Structure 1
Amino acid sequence: MFIQTEATPNPEVLKFLPGREVMGEGSRDFRDADDASASPLAAEIFAIPGVTRVFFGPDFITVGKLPGRDWAHVKAPILAAIMDHFTSGVALFAGDGEAVGHDEGAYEGETAQIVAEIKDLLDTRIRPAVAQDGGDILFSRFDAATGVVWLNMRGACSGCPSSTATLRAGVENMLKHYVPEVTRVEQTL
C-alpha cells in the first residue's frame, strides 16, 4: 500500500491519501482523543505524541500537530497507523460512526429555498475546492433577518491561518453573488 501526503495551506496539518476510500460520503472531525474513541484509526493516530486533530474525508485523512513538533518526527508513525489500519481490515468506526453533513435545521417558505440554494452552492462549488486542501466546510445556520450564513470549517481548514481569507474572499463573495439575500458569512467554532 502506498500512501501519498500533501501539504495543506495550514502548516500544522498534513493531508494523507491512502489511495482508497476513507469515508466515501461525508466527513468526520475528531477534535481530541475522547472524540477519537469512536474510530480505532483515529484513536491510533491520536496516540502519537504531538497529534492534535484528525479528520476523515471521502478519500483522505488530515492530521493536525502541535506547532512545536516537526513533521519529520510525526509523519512516519501516522503513515504506519494508516497502513496498519487499512491492511488489517478493521472497521473505520466502532459503533456509531456516521458521517457528518450539513445541519438540517427547520426552515420554512422562502427561507427554506434560500438555505437550499446555499447548501447546493456549498456542495457543488465550494466543498470540492476545500477538500483539495484537506478540509471541509458545512452549513450551520442562516439568519434570514440579517442575511448572515454560519459555516463550520473542518479538517485542515479549521484553525488555518488563511481560513478567514477563504471565508471572506471566496465563500462569502460567491454566496453573495448567487444568493443576494446573503449579506455576510461567519464561522462557527
Structure 2
Amino acid sequence: MFIQTEDTPNPNTMKFLPGREIAPESPREFATPEEAEASLLARELFAVDGVTGVFCGADYISVSKDETLDWPHIKPAILGTIMDVLQSGAALFEADGGEADYEPDSGPAKEIKEIIDTRVRPAVARDGGDIIFKGFDEQTGIVALVMRGACAGCPSSTMTLKSGIENLLKHYVPEVREVVAVG
C-alpha cells in the first residue's frame, strides 16, 4: 500500500491520501482522544505521540500534530499506523455515523448551504479541511460556519473566511452581511 502525503495551508496539519475511501458518506472529526474512541483509525492515530487531531474526509485523513514537533519525526509513525489499520480490514468507524448537517427548508439559508456545499467544501477538502453550514440569522445577516480538519486553527483560515467565503456569499445572497466561525 502506498500512501501519498500533501502539505496543507496549516503547517501543523498534513493530508494523507491512501488511495481508498475513508469516510465517503460523512466527514468525521476527532479533536480529542476521547472523541476518537468511536473510530479504530482515530484511536490508533492518537496513540502516536504528538498527534493532536484527526479529520477523515471522503478519501483522505488530515492529521494535526503538536507544534513543537517536526513532521520528519512524526510522519513515519503516522504512515505506519494508517497502513496497519487499513490493511487490517477492520471497520474504521462505529456505525452511528458522522455529524448531521443542518438542512434549511427554503429561503436564503437554503441558498447559502447550497453554495457552501457545491463551491466551498470541495475547495477546502483539497486542502485537507471541511466547512459545515450551521445556520443563518435573517435578522442580523450572519452566517455561522464550523471549520474542521486542516481549516481549524489554520493561520490563513480567517482570511479564507472573510475574503473568500464572505465575499462569495455576499455576491450571491444579498441578505448576507457577515460570516463567522463557530465552535
- Partner residue in 1 for 2:171: 177
Alignment-derived partner of residue 99 in structure 2: 100
In structure 1, the partner of 2:107 is: 113
Contact 1:39 1:92 (C-alpha < 8 Å) held by counterparts: yes
Amino acid at match of 1:5: T
TM-score (norm 2): 0.97
CA distance in 1, matches of 2:54, 2:6: 15
1:164 pairs with one of 133, 158, 162: 158
Are 1:146 and 2:140 an aligned pair?
yes
Aligned to 1:77: 77
Give the match for residue 30 of structure 2.
30
Amino acid at match of 2:48: I
- Runs of 4+ aligned residues of structure 1 deviating over 2 Å after TM superposition are 99-104
Query: 1:90 matched to which residue of 2?
Result: 90
Give the Å deviation of 1:26.
Answer: 2.0
* 1:101 CA displacement: 4.3
For the Cα contact (< 8 Å) 1:27–1:101, is it kept in 2? no
Q: Once the two structures are aligned, what percentage of the paired residues are identical?
A: 56
Structure 2 residue 12 is the aligned partner of structure 1 residue 12:
yes
Q: Could you say what the CA RMSD is over the residues aligned between the two structures, in angstroms?
A: 1.1
The count of corresponding residues between Structure 1 and Structure 2 is 183
Distance 1:14 1:134 in 2: 7
Cα distance in 2 for partners of 1:24, 1:13 equals 21
Paired residues of 1:101 and 1:138 also in contact (CA < 8 A): no
- d(CA) in 2 for partners of 1:103 and 1:8? 27
Which sections of structure 2, spanning at least 5 residues, go unmatched? none
Hey, what's the Cα distance between the residues in 1 that align with 2:172 and 2:135? 17
Check the 8 A contact 1:46/1:53 in 2, yes or no: yes
Contact 1:28 1:99 (8 Å CA) reproduced: yes
Aligned-pair CA distance for 1:95: 4.2
TM-score (norm 1): 0.94
Letter in 2 for 1:16: F
Cα separation, 2, equivalents of 1:88 and 1:78: 15
Q: CA–CA distance in 1 between the matches of 2:174 and 2:26?
A: 28
Distance 1:101 1:136, change over 3 A: farther
Please state whether the residue corresponding to 2:53 is helix, strand or coil.
strand
